[in-house]
Amino acid sequence: MSLLPSTRCLNLLKKCKSLNQLKQAHGQAIACGLGHNSFALSRILALCAEVRLQTGTSTAADHAWKLFQSIHRPTICICNTAIKCLLQNDDLSKIFQVYSTIWRNGMYPDDYTLPYVLKACLKLESRFNGEAVHGSCLKLGLEWFTVVGNSFILFYSGFGCMGAAGKVFDEMPSPCVVSWTSMVSGYAKAGEVGKARLCFDQAPIKDGGLWGAMISGYVQNSCYKECLYLFKLMQLADVQPDEGIFSSILTASAQLGALDTGMWIHRQLTRSGFQLSTRLSTALVDMYVKCGNLALARNLFDEIPDRDVVCWNVMISGVAIHGDGENALKLLLEMEAAGLQPDDITFLTILAACSHSNMASEGLMILDKMCNEYKLEPKSEHFGCIVDLLSREGLLQEAERIIQRMPSSSSSSEEAIAWRALLNACCSQGDAQLAEVAAERLFKLESHSGAYTLLSNLYSAAGKHDEAKRVRKMMRDRGVEKSPGSSSIEIGGSVHEFVAGEKTQPEFSSPTT
C-alpha cells in the first residue's frame, strides 16, 4: 500500500542531511499541503537546528528565521523550536524577538521556553533581561519546575550571583542531583570553596558529576591537598571517575609534586584499558614535567598521535622550566614542521626557556618572529620574560626601556609583572638605584609584600639598615602583610604541607640544643 503524499513528505524531512536537501523537502511539504501544518513546520525548524552546513551566504539559522517570520500564528511549540534553532546557531538577538512574539500573541512561555532564553541571556551577558524573565516566571508559577529552577541557578551562577542562585535553590520543592551539582560548581567558580563543600556534603545523592564538580572546584581554587583527599573518599564510595576527574587529579598531583599519586593514576588508566584522549595524555605529560621526570614526559609525549597546540605548549613549557632553552627551540621547530601554528602561550614558554638558559640573542629573535612572522601582539608576560632575559645578561637599563615600551592598554596587574621581573634582577645584581625606581612603581600598582621584602633585603645586604627599616615601616603603615613561606612533601601517598613557623604538624620536631 502506497504512503499518502503528506506521510512521504514527513519521511523525506527525516532524511535531510544538508540545507539544500532541507529546502527541497520544505518545497515538497508546501506542495503536499503541509505549508501551514504546525507539526511539519516545527519539524523543519528542528532540522534547521541540526543542519549546520552553509550554502553560499545562507545558513540554517537564516532559513529558520525566514520560515518563522512567514508563520502567521505560530504555536508555542513552533516558538520553542525556533528559539532552540537560533540558540544553537548563536543568533542570539533574534531569540528575544521570538520571546516577545509569544507574549504578543497571547501565549505564555513554558518550561521548555525559559531554559533556552536564559542561556541566551547568559551568552549575551544580559543580566537585566534574565532578571526580567525571572519576574515573568514567578508570575506564571513556573519556578516549581525543576528544569526551570536549574536554569536560573546556572544563570545567576554565571554572573557570580550565588546569593540569588542559593535563593532559587532553597525555594525549589525537589532539587535533583543536577541542582546540587550546579550549586557546587557555582560556589567553586565564585571562589567560595567552603560553601561548595558544605553543599556537596549535604547532597542526598552523589553521582560522578557531583564528585567531579567538587574535585574540579578544589583545583580551580588551588586546594590541591583537599582535591586528592576527596578523590580517596570517592574511591571508598565506589564511584568510577571519568576523564574530567582524572584530569583534575593529575593537575593536583602536578601542583603538589605528588609523583607517586600521578604514576598510580597512570597505571590505573593503563590497566583498565581507559582510552587516553589528547586532553588526558596532555595532563599526564604536565604531571610528569612538574614532578621532575622529564624523560617519562617526553616518552609519553612522543606516543600521543594527535598532538594539539596545548599538548605542544605543555611539553615546551616542561623543557623550559628545566632550563633547557636549546631543546625548547628544537621543539618549536618540530611543532611548526608538524603544521601547527604556535600561539602566544607557545612563545611565552620559549621566551622563558631562553631566559633561564641565558640565551638573550635567541630570545630577541623569537620575539621578532612572534611579532613579524605570526603577527601576535606581545602581552605583559612576554615583556616580563624579555625584561628577565635582558636583566640576567646585566642589561638592566635596556630592560627598563622595554618596560617603558609596553602598550598603554596594559592593565596595572600586567605592568606589575614586568616591573617585578626588573626588581628581582636589580636585587640579584645589587643595583639599588634602579631597584628603588622599580619598587616605587610596584608600590603604586599593587599591594603585595614581595616588592617591600625584596627592597628591604637589598638594603640590608648593602649595609643600609636605616633604609631597610624605613621600607619595613612603610609596609606596616600601609597594612601590607607578608605571607609565610610553605612547602609540601609526599610521604607514603599522602601530601604534607609545612608552613614557616608552624608547629601543628605531628611530624614537626624541635631542634635539639
| 3-class DSSP assignment, residue 241 | coil
Q: What is the CATH number of the domain that holds 456?
A: 1.25.40.10
Beta bridge partners of 497: 488
- Contacts of residues 12-19 at CB distance under 8 Å and 24 or more positions apart, as own/partner, are 13/40, 13/43, 13/44, 13/47, 16/47, 16/51, 17/51, 18/51, 18/53, 18/55, 19/51, 19/53, 19/54, 19/55, 19/58, 19/59, 19/60, 19/63
Check if the beta carbon of residue 111 is closer than 8 Å to that of residue 105. Answer: no
Tell me the average pLDDT of the chain.
Answer: 83
Whether 444 is covered by a domain: the verdict is yes
Among the listed ranges 117-131, 230-244, 288-302, 489-503, which one has the minimum average pLDDT value? 489-503
Mean pLDDT along residues 444-468: 72
Backbone torsions φ then ψ of 490, nearest 5 degrees: -100, 125
Q: Cell numbers at residue 474, please?
A: 612603610
pLDDT 10s digits, 110-147: 999 999 999 999 999 999 999 999 999 888 888 789 99
DSSP line for 7-64: HHHHHHHHT--SHHHHHHHHHHHHHTT-TT-HHHHHHHHHHHHH----BTTB-HHHHH
pLDDT at 239 over 80: yes
The pLDDT score that the predictor gives to residue 221 is 96
How many independent structural domains does the chain possess?
A: 1
Question: Is 511 inside a domain boundary?
Answer: no
Question: Would 415 be classed as within a structural domain?
Answer: yes
Residue 441 lies in a domain: yes
Residue 488 has pLDDT above 80, yes or no: no
Least confident among 187-191, 325-329, 391-395: 391-395
Report how far residue 387's alpha carbon sits from residue 397's, in angstroms, rounded to the nearest whole number. Answer: 10
Whole-number Å distance between alpha carbons of 219 and 453: 29
pLDDT at 192: 96
**Domain contains 456:** yes
Find the domain containing 451 and state its range. 378-482
Within-domain flag for 210 = no
Q: CA-to-CA distance for 497 and 513, rounded, in angstroms?
A: 25
Which pLDDT tens digit goes with each residue over 346-395? Answer: 999 999 888 888 888 888 899 889 989 999 988 878 887 888 788 777 77
Residue 422 counted as domain residue: yes
Task: Please report, rounded to a whole number, the percentage of residues in the chain having pLDDT higher than 90.
Answer: 45
- Separation of CA 391 from chain center: 33
Q: Which of 179-188, 205-214, 482-491 has the lowest mean pLDDT?
A: 482-491
Rounded Cα gap, residues 350 and 325, in angstroms: 7
CA distance 455 to 157: 42
The more confident residue out of 414 and 377 is 377
How buried is residue 163: exposed, middle or buried, by Cβ count under 10 Å (0-12/13-18/19+)? exposed
Helix segments in 172-308, DSSP class H? 177-189, 193-202, 208-220, 224-236, 243-256, 259-271, 278-290, 294-303
Q: What is the pLDDT of residue 404?
A: 77
User: Is 148 a member of any domain?
Assistant: no
